[in-house]
Amino acid sequence: MKKEIFTEKTKNTDTSNQKIKISIFSGIIVIILVFFVGGLFLFAAESDEDEVVEADYSNPYNLPEISNEQIENITVSNNETFLATLYVDGKYYVESFKKSDNPTVMDLINSVGITLSEEDSVSYGTDTLLTEDMVISVNRVYYEETVTYEPVAYQTEAVSVIYSTFANRVGTETAGKDGRKEIVTRTKYVNGEAVESTVISEKIVENPISAKVYVDASNLLDTGGGAPSEYVSKIENVTFTAYGPSDGGGSRTATGHSTQVGYVAVDPSVIPLYSKLYIVMDNGFVYGYAYAMDTGGAVKGNIVDIFLPSTYDCNRFGRRTGTVYVVSSGR
């Protein structure tokens, strides 16, 4: 009998232990389920909050690479908003806009607080509607005028002389001097870099002075073998003056011929026009054979105005006295 009682007690103890183990295991399962379900609710709640959207900084406009230091404003967007990017003055600006507002490029510029000048250019029209991840670039444009100076090279002028050679008064060549030209240039700058320059005006502010080389033109004279032995008349104590190509009488004589060495102006009442003459100065200068082909307002009486090849030569000649041989009388 004692043995059976012991066996029954053992069976009852084993059953109690199994019930305790089942209770503990069930409790653990319940705790795990609670944490799992709570996590699902927490995830669902977070999903209803604003979704963080990162801007796409692709570079379709060949702009400089964006960096965190260059980003002035970054605004979180959700399904109701979108991001647009503005690049200006070497910096990126990222702004968030409501899709329902239909914002334009100008809205982005105003939002950033950028002021455009009349010359600035924008990659899109300012009335263009913004789209998601749109990148707008602004080019700063301005103009600058500069004044520079360039030398104007002088020319070398050959001056023919006759009397100056005789008087040994040619001297050294006259040195030339360069002039100066003022040039105003307008340069276009885009984002600080010069892209185009245009000359808008040029003017001479200092005229060049020609160098002069004196050339002996005595070969133009026909001196023959000296004073002729035969002549119609001889006029002494004649006053001689000289005129050249630049004098007010022009390039043609009173008889309609071109002025040249060997043609002289006379008073037709003293020496008839077209007369052939031979002229000798008292100082030994021989003008030689000449023709009375011209007249002059100051040429009266015993005054003869001889033609010399340059003003320089005329100035050296001044006024001289001498003799005129009338070889043959004109009309």
314 secondary structure, DSSP code: H
- Tell me what pLDDT residue 51 has: 41
Confidence of residue 155 (pLDDT cuts 50, 70, 90): very high
- The encoded tokens of residue 68 equal 């965190």
Confidence of residue 252 (pLDDT cuts 50, 70, 90): confident
Q: How far apart are CA 225 and CA 235, in angstroms?
A: 20
The residue-averaged pLDDT of 171-185 equals 88
Angle at 89 between CA 52 and CA 77, to 5 degrees: 10
> DSSP E strands: which ranges in 20-167?
81-88, 91-98, 121-122, 134-139, 141-152, 156-161
Q: How far apart are CA 150 and CA 160, in angstroms?
A: 32
pLDDT tens digits, one per residue of 102-119: 999 999 999 999 899 989
pLDDT tens digits, one per residue of 200-236: 999 999 999 999 888 889 999 999 888 899 999 999 9
Domains and CATH numbers, the chain: 68-139 (3.10.20.30), 142-215 (2.20.230.10), 221-328 (2.40.40.10)
Q: How far apart are CA 109 and CA 271, in angstroms?
A: 94
Q: How far apart are CA 307 and CA 246, in angstroms?
A: 11
- Tell me what pLDDT residue 239 has: 97
Helix, strand, coil percent content, the chain, rounded in steps of 5: 20, 40, 40
Is the Cα dihedral 187, 188, 189, 193 positive or negative?
negative
Confidence of residue 41 (pLDDT cuts 50, 70, 90): very low
Mean pLDDT of the chain: 81
pLDDT tens digits, one per residue of 76-98: 456 788 999 999 998 999 999 99
